[in-house]
Amino acid sequence: MIRVEGLTKYYGPYPAVRDVSFHVREGEIVAFLGPNAAGKTTTMRVLTCYHPPSFGEAFIAGHSVRTEALEARQQIGYLPESIAMYEEMSVVSYLRFCSRLRDVPRHEVEDRVESAMTRCRVDDVADRAIGKLSKGYRQRVGLAQALVHDPPVLILDEPTIGLDPAQIIETRELIRRLSGERTVMLSTHILPEAQALAQRVIIINHGRIVAEDTPEALTGRVQKVDTLFIRISETSDAVAQALRVIPEVKNIRVAEREKNSVAYHVDTARGHDIRADLARFIVNKNWGLLELRPMRMTLEDVFLSLVTEEEGSN
């Protein structure tokens, strides 16, 4: 549905995006993840035909952004980062304006506007001026605007930036609900967001794609060992030595030393679940097992490790 081939975009002499290629299948939700100034917004602006690419091509539903910009834009609902809208217009008249520009047939305009307002829950402020709305409402009007012509592709640039935690949760919920049959591409620098919403994550840094996979697979790629977290009440140093006897244990580190307990990170070979064995071992020694849980690498760790890997190789 979205195909990007060898996309490069220069701002003056500076390449904001360098040789980026990716693919988003129909109905997929893909997150574009990267630190600020990584090239996310630039890529999205090329996709929405706001900026023409310097080199390379992009296609939206088969329409080239270079030669068929109008057709490509027609397929897209776009929420720019911290969307600016005409402050003096009321919500409903703004949505009418948007739907007319996107070729919604005249007799359908009212229904589409009505349904977009209901779905994004802005119907209670329909007649208020956009400039007088709170940040959360504005963001929802922004989403309603992106949806009003019922586009097959949604492009959302940092859809939750600047919102308070309750609004963030609400907006994510909304995006998940709206995505439905649509192809969604959203950008974020918040990792849990990518994890929560996307089926696939594209990590971009310094204008290049660093990695591209499902959140789980990305974790797997970086994680060479499984790590278990254990907390026991026996505080003697002999414990670490004794645990190394178990063959699957690769490494053991002290994570936290407290007055009555010590916590360890135990690295084990991948794919071997030794939790039961470990628990039996500790109980048999009578060390007082307080806690035992697997530690998952967060996408944050994955991201950091991929980005540092990339910088190391340069």
Partner 1 sequence: MDAFRRSVSNTITIARRELYAFFVSPVAYVVVFFQFAVCGYLFNLMCSAQQPLEVYRDSMYGGGFPGVAPTLLFWLRFTSMIAFPAITMRLFAEERRSGTIEQLMCNPVRDIEVVLGKYLAGMGIFAVMLLLSMIFPFWIHKYSQQEWGQMLAGYLSFVGTGAVFMAVGLFVSSLTRSQVTAFLLSLGALFLLWMIGWGADKAQGTAIGQFLQYVSLENAADDLVNGILDVRAAAYYISLTAFFLFGTVRSLASTRAQ
C-beta of 103 vs 181, nearer to partner 1: 103
Residue from 19, 27, 97, 161 touching partner 1 (CB under 8 A): that is: 97
Q: Quick one: which of 5, 8, 89, 275 contacts partner 1 (CB under 8 A)?
A: 89
Options 92-100, 167-175, 196-204, 218-226: segment touching partner 1 (CB under 8 A):
92-100
Q: Which residue type is seen at 288?
A: G
| 84: contact with partner 1 by CB under 8 A | yes
- Using the contact rule CB under 8 A, the part of the chain among 69-77, 192-200, 264-272, 302-310 near partner 1 is 69-77
Contact between 83 and partner 1 (CB under 8 A)? yes
CB of 71 to partner 1, least distance (A): 8
* Single residue of 57, 71, 114, 310 touching partner 1 by CB under 8 A: 71
- Output 151 or 215, the one with its CB closest to partner 1: 151
Return the half-sphere exposure (C-beta side, CA atoms, 13 A cut-off) of residue 63.
18
Nearer to partner 1 (CB atom), residue 49 or residue 178? 49
Binding mask 6-35 for partner 1 (x = CB under 8 A): -----x------------------------
Place of tokens 């974020």: 188
**Closest approach of partner 1 to the CB of residue 102, in Å:** 6
What is the nearest approach in angstroms of partner 1 to the Cβ of residue 240? 57
Among 20, 24, 92, 98, binds partner 1 (CB under 8 A): 98
Residues near partner 1, by CB under 8 A: 11, 45, 48-52, 70-71, 73-74, 76, 78, 80, 82-89, 93, 97-98, 100-103, 145
